[in-house]
Chain A
Amino acid sequence: MEEVDGIIIHSLRQVGCDVEDDVDSLKQFSTELVIEAAVRCLDVIQPGLGLPHSLPDSMSARFRVGASIAQACKNLGYSGDIGYQTFLYSSEIDIRRVFVFLIEKLPKESGKSIVEPTGRIGVLEKAVSETVKKQLASPWLPRYCRRRGIRWYDDGTWSREGCGHNQPFISCNIDVPKTANSRGLSQAWREYYVHHLPLVTEQVPHIHQLLPSLITLNAKGLLTPVQPVHGAISNWDTCKINQQLTDCIARSFDGCSSAPEKESSVAALHIQDNDKKRRKETNSRFALSERLQFTKESNKDKKLQESDEQPFKSQVVMGAEKKRGKEEEMQIAKGEMERLKECLEALQLDVKKLTTKLSQITEEKSHEIRVLKNKEQQQIVKKQTYDLLPEADTNLSALQTSVESSAQTLVLLAAQWEKHRAPLLAQYRDARERNSNKASESQKKVDALRNLREKSRELGEEVRHKEQLHSQLVTEYEKVTKDINRSAYTRRIMEIIGNISKQKEEIDKVLKDTKDLQKEINNLTGQLDRSFTVADELIFRDAKRDETARRAYKLLATLHSDCSELVQMVEETGATVREIRDLEEQIETERAKNVGANLDRISADLRQMKQETAALTAQLNAKS
């Protein structure tokens, strides 16, 4: 256990405990040291507990400190029996366990460094999270404990909770001086602002309405510049609108010519008419309805009816005369259209005819050319035949022989050519084969080279990686402090592991032996019983007749009972020995607890506490 103590003491020294150098086991720890060590550990684990590092003098204070330390340890999650007595009247085993637990709970030195949030947002978020944490941690207070929802905390901060204190958002108009263009302000206005305009706080009927009113005023100020100015249209606006209108009119005319419907065209003409008169009065609604009328052909009639109503409402008087004139124009346009249609059809027919004619003629032409060529060739052949005709037979045979001979010559020529061609071809093929062989070999070499290069690159990478790792580990090793003899610990740990495994083996062996022994015992008892029964029967049978047999039987019985008594004795002895061993172990543990000394100290402290309480009561009585 020395190593454990060594580790504990070392960690305590790191935490900041003032452990003397010659203290190297927990047995030598005094109560003050124990308290100080525990408190320092708790400080590191849970800063802000506010426990004193040294024991106070008064007994009750000491008792309280011990209890709070025990409570803190329990909060951290220590499972086991812990109380003020563990620290004030300590036993080695208990404090060892407690210290091991506390040291485990110590945060790692190489822990994560908390990144402090910088920047406005980060700081704000951190503040918000802290406040919310505090609010969540505090218990609930009923409504009447909070005045207007405000609640005070121990550290002097306050927060608002609940909805009971809310006020409705009622705003009213307030006047503030307009400082946009101060040049435009007349003297009178300025006078008014300076002397007579009441303060904003006095302009609202109720103080709660001040904030909402200011908010609405500011919002209005933000929105006003964005809205478009209604009302009078300036000069250049009118021109733009005129342009749009003329476009619409042109489109309406096109629409008329493709689908001549009297009402729609009349209406369109109406609109054209009315637009000329109502330029100054156009507003967006009318232009929009017009655009709708011309872009959506399907809704044309409907929209026309709508816009129809508009001009009709204002142009009832002039309508009838204009209508007649427009009808006449319509008729003329229609006639034109019919004529154009007929022209178009005639032209299309012409085009069709001409294309077919063209194709026909080109085909005829090509046909004729072919026929001509054929005829020319035939003519040549026929001419030659006619020339040869007078002496047909001889010429025929001559022709045949000439054909044969030319065929033969051709064959000879082919043979000669073959003589040249075949070796050349063979040469070419050989060269190609050699080339391809070389190519394949070089390809193989290239592949091998590439493989080697890959391998060397991989090895290089590995080497680099290992070197990096090596340097890293070396630096880490140097950083790590050398006062703890880690190798000794690791060696010891390995030894312990080895020991444990050996022990396990031994235990297994012992168990096995025990089992075997038990089996043997069972076997033997069984055998014994069986042999006894057999012997008993045998002799009993003879005992009826023979005297010696009877005696033998009696002896057998006594022998059996004596032996069984012996066996019983042996078993009892074994059991007793085991009991003795257990009791001895228990004695050892009890002795380690050091109860006697602790009991003395407790009784002394109790007497001291009693004295103190008596003194305090006497003081109180004296005061009152």
Chain B
Amino acid sequence: MSALVDLIACNIIERDSNGDVLWTWSYPSVTEQQKCLVLRKCCLDGDHVIVQPFIYGRSGKTWYYISCTEVFDSDNLPRVKQFALVLWSRDLNPDKYETLCRMLSKTYCKTGSPVSLLQLYLSVVTRGSCTTEENGTFLVRDFEARTNHNNHMPNTRIKELIKMFGLETILIYTALLLKKRIVVYHHSLETLLKWMPTYPALMCHREAADILYPWIDLVSEELLDLKSNMSYVAGCRDSGVGARTDLYDVLVNLPAREITVATHAKESMTMTKTHKDIAVFMVQLSENESLSEQQAVREIADKTRELLNQLRSLATVSTPDGKHVVSIETLRERNLPPALDNFLFNLAVAENMMML
């Protein structure tokens, strides 16, 4: 019975027959800024024809999960056309929260009163599980098992990604490896959110929750939030992001299937022979039909580990803390070609193995 202490808050936003979008209920409380953000993201206003069933995003260090539901006449909510249930949490686990959201939404639909909602919510927080008559039981345990695998989420599509971009996938890989800023663009939110988990999965040894920003708009608050990080993988639905070269080092345009490297990042993204090898290896992986998604991910992780081991072999100097770091002189001694030299330098910096 592990409690789900990561849950922070729960809110309901309704859209009624008059066309108003109202913030109807929240527990315990949320700030004005968060309210604005969620209202903007919940897509309940009349502009959006299709109601996105489940969206999630990040604000600072907290994650919000929004699930929109259509209200039918059979439900107990008069004069409400649609409503969105928002859950705020500290961890990134879309599946878990999607299930929870769905359950809570159904209960709310049926009873029409947030009190029952609150009961379920509290039971999840305190006991780690909740039961409803129709929708079964929700157990936090079910979702924990999966999260232990290096914190990478399921539903990755690495093979498809490599197939889509071919040898250019190495650009994404390098950018992730060197802790650069990546912006992914797709005009459809659903597709974007489906693709976002794939990117951090390329770097299994890093935390996905640290760098992933599934959905940002070009609004000043969100951009400030984004810029406070040194490296991130952000998804954007606005095509104007292509003009904002200050926001990214690498831009991945999914519908057009092209990867653009910003001019100020070009020198750090120069390709070497190592890169070519890895690129070819990834393409071969994607073409191999017998490999499953998990296996592909693991293979790439192995390759990355190889590369890092190579780097560690250069880490001859040891600091007072006992860490092994690479010094510039060691790099210079090897007399490597300048591109590779640059790459190893940057990689060491990214992995905190550089002595400066």
Contacts and interface: CB of A to CB of B under 8 A. Distances in A.
B270 interface: no
A622 B17 CA distance: 130
Contacts of B113: 418, 422
B18 A436 contact: yes
Given A360-B352, A407-B123, A418-B114, A432 B230 contact: no
Interface string A374-409: 000000000000000000000000000001100100
Interface in B104-139: 113-115, 118-119, 122-123, 126
Interface in B79-111: 79
A421 B117 CA distance: 15
DSSP majority for the A interface?
helix
A415 interface: yes
A360 B349 contact: yes
A132 interface: no
Contacts of B328: 353
A411 interface: yes
Nearest to B28: A410
B230 A362 contact: yes
Contact of B122 (A362, A410, A415, A425): A410
Contact of B18 (A362, A414, A421, A432): A432
A432 B22 CA distance: 12
A429 B79 CA distance: 8
B115 A407 contact: no
A428 B114 CA distance: 18
Interface in B25-53: 25, 27
B354 interface: yes
A323 interface: no
B256 interface: no
Interface in A350-380: 353, 356-357, 359-360, 362-364
Interface string B1-21: 000000000000000111110
A360 B17 contact: no
Given A353-B356, A407-B126, A429-B16, A414 B79 contact: no
Contact of B114 (A362, A363, A407, A414): A414
Contacts of A428: 22
A362 B113 CA distance: 48
Contacts of A432: 16, 18, 20
B356 A356 contact: yes
A433 interface: yes
Contacts, number: 54
A353 B342 CA distance: 12
Interface string B51-87: 0000000000000000000000000000100000000
B24 interface: yes
A362 B356 CA distance: 14
A428 B132 CA distance: 32
A356 B118 contact: no
A363 B17 contact: no
Contacts of A422: 113
B122 A360 contact: no
A411 B115 CA distance: 6
Contact of A433 (B17, B22, B349): B17
Contacts of A425: 22, 24
Given A407-B123, A432-B18, A433-B17, A421 B25 contact: yes
A432 B79 CA distance: 12
B354 A360 contact: yes
A356 B349 contact: yes
Nearest to A412: B115
Interface residues of A, number: 24
A493 to B, nearest CB: 70
A356 B353 CA distance: 12
Given A356-B354, A360-B349, A414 B16 contact: no
Nearest to B350: A360
A411 B113 CA distance: 12
B340 to A, nearest CB: 16
B69 to A, nearest CB: 18
Contacts of B20: 429, 432
A403 B126 contact: yes
Contact of B118 (A353, A359, A363, A414): A414
Contacts of B18: 429, 432-433, 436
A411 B230 contact: no
Given A414-B114, A432-B18, A360 B27 contact: no
Contact of B230 (A359, A404, A410): A359
Given A356-B354, A407-B123, A415 B349 contact: no
Looking at B18, B20, B126, the one whose CB has the most chain A CB atoms below 10 A away is B18
A414 B349 contact: no
Contact of B356 (A357, A403, A436): A357
B354 A411 contact: no
A360 B356 contact: yes
A595 B123 CA distance: 135
Contacts of A414: 27, 114-115, 118
Contacts of A357: 356
A418 B118 CA distance: 11
Contacts of A418: 113-115
Nearest to A421: B25
A404 B22 CA distance: 31
Nearest to A358: B356
A441 to B, nearest CB: 15
A342 to B, nearest CB: 16
Interface in B179-208: none
Q: Which of B19, B27, B349 has the most CB of A within 10 A?
A: B349
Interface in A429-470: 429, 432-433, 436
B81 to A, nearest CB: 12
A486 B41 CA distance: 83
Contacts of A364: 352
B172 to A, nearest CB: 21
A363 B24 contact: no
A363 B79 CA distance: 50
Nearest to A360: B349
Contacts of A353: 328, 356
Interface in B205-246: 230
B321 to A, nearest CB: 12
Contact of A411 (B22, B24, B119, B349): B119
Nearest to B117: A414
B13 to A, nearest CB: 13
16 contacts: A359-B230, A360-B352, A360-B356, A403-B126, A404-B126, A407-B122, A407-B123, A414-B27, A415-B115, A418-B114, A421-B24, A428-B22, A429-B18, A429-B79, A432-B16, A436-B18
Interface of A: 353, 356-357, 359-360, 362-364, 403-404, 407, 410-411, 414-415, 418, 421-422, 425, 428-429, 432-433, 436
7 tightest Cβ-Cβ pairs between the two chains A and B: A357-B356, A432-B18, A407-B122, A414-B118, A414-B115, A415-B115, A356-B349
Given A362-B230, A407-B122, A410-B27, 9 more contacts: A403-B126, A410-B122, A411-B118, A414-B27, A414-B114, A429-B17, A429-B18, A429-B79, A433-B17
